[in-house]
């Protein structure tokens, strides 16, 4: 499919062919849901911890006789029923990661690409660079292609230090390589900017 390529001034420079099998598939909502669920689960640290009765510092002396007191039996001061006692079934360190098959992950990203292109939120821009890191210049590029006031993500094929550093101070804007791209990134952003040089990398990665 033919798509216009924008230059950094916001004008149409030329057109480029996008592969149908990546940008023109029927979006699979469930695959995208699973990919986002897996991504968000992986962001959780899982370092929560509470002490249970076996980990509380204190005496293990039996406080009172087992029967005949009219109250609940108690083995030690570390009983969870007492103030300062251990917690019953407290949280323990764990991983929240959710396994995602490679084919499902690939389908999810294809679906996200196709959905964003169909809704008009995906634009192809010419490759550009800066002589030195300049946030003002990067903001000017975003402004020219009507992406300055929205949450945007620029997908590049090769790491460009000056472009990356220029974007780092811009709120709601990210620059990512194709290899770092996730379905969550594609769905969460309002504007997807794909550099012309990233198209070949996308073909190699997701075709």
User: In this prediction, what percent of the chain has a pLDDT beyond 90?
Assistant: 72
Do residues 109 and 154 both lie within one domain? Answer: yes
- Residues 112, 175, single domain; the answer is yes
Residues 104 and 141 in one domain: yes
Number of folded domains that form the chain: 2
**pLDDT band with cut points at 50, 70 and 90 for residue 13:** confident
User: How confident is the model at residue 55, as a pLDDT?
Assistant: 94
* 23 and 80 inside one domain: no
Q: Do residue 35 and residue 90 come from a single domain?
A: no
Residues 6+ apart with CB under 8 A from 40: 184
Query: Could you give the percent of the chain with pLDDT greater than 70?
Result: 100
Same domain, 8 and 103: yes
What's the average model confidence in pLDDT over 96-104?
A: 94
Per the prediction, the chain carries an average pLDDT of 92
What is the DSSP-derived secondary structure letter of residue 178?
Answer: G
Confidence band of 30 (pLDDT split at 50, 70, 90): very high
DSSP of 60-127: ----S-SSSSSS---S-TT-TTSTT-PPTT------------HHHHHHHHHHHHHHHHHTT-EEEE--
pLDDT in tens, 37-86: 999 999 999 999 999 999 999 999 999 999 999 999 999 999 999 999 99
Judge if 8 and 87 occupy the same domain: no
pLDDT tier, 35 (very low <50, low <70, confident <90, very high otherwise): very high
Q: Are residue 83 and residue 145 in the same domain, yes or no?
A: no
CATH of the domain at 143: 3.40.1370.10
Confidence of residue 205 (pLDDT cuts 50, 70, 90): confident
77 and 169 together in one domain: no
From 55, 44, 52, 51, select the one nearest 94 (Cα to Cα): 44
Residue 59's domain comprises 46-95
For residues 175 and 155, what is the distance between their CA atoms, to the nearest angstrom? 6
- For residue 163, the model assigns a pLDDT of 92
Same domain, 150 and 196: yes
* 90 plus 107 within the same structural domain: no
Using one digit for the tens of pLDDT, what is the confidence trace for 173-198? 999 999 899 999 999 999 999 999 89
pLDDT band with cut points at 50, 70 and 90 for residue 107: very high
Report the pLDDT averaged over residues 9-37: 91
Q: Are residues 81 and 169 in the same domain?
A: no
What's the confidence (pLDDT) of residue 100?
94
Q: What is the mean pLDDT of residues 166-172?
A: 90
């Amino acid at each position: 499919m033919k798509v216009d390529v924008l230059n950094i001034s916001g004008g149409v420079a030329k057109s480029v062919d996008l592969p149908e099998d990546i940008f023109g598939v029927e979006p699979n909502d469930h695959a995208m849901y699973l990919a986002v669920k897996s991504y968000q689960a992986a962001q959780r640290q899982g370092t929560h911890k509470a002490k249970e009765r076996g980990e509380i510092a204190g005496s293990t002396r039996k406080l009172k006789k087992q029967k005949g007191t009219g109250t609940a039996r108690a083995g030690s001061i570390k009983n969870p029923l007492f103030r300062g006692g251990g917690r019953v079934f407290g949280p323990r360190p764990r991983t929240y990661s959710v396994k995602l098959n490679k084919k499902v992950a690939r389908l999810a990203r294809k679906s996200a690409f196709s959905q964003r292109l169909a809704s008009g939120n995906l634009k192809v821009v010419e490759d550009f660079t800066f002589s030195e890191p300049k946030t003002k210049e990067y903001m000017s590029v975003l402004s020219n292609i009507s992406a300055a006031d929205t949450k945007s993500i620029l997908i590049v094929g090769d790491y460009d230090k000056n472009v990356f550093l220029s974007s780092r101070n811009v709120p709601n804007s990210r620059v990512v390589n194709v290899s770092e791209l996730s379905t969550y990134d594609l769905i969460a952003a309002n504007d997807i900017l794909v550099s012309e040089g990233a198209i070949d990398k996308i073909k190699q990665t997701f075709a």
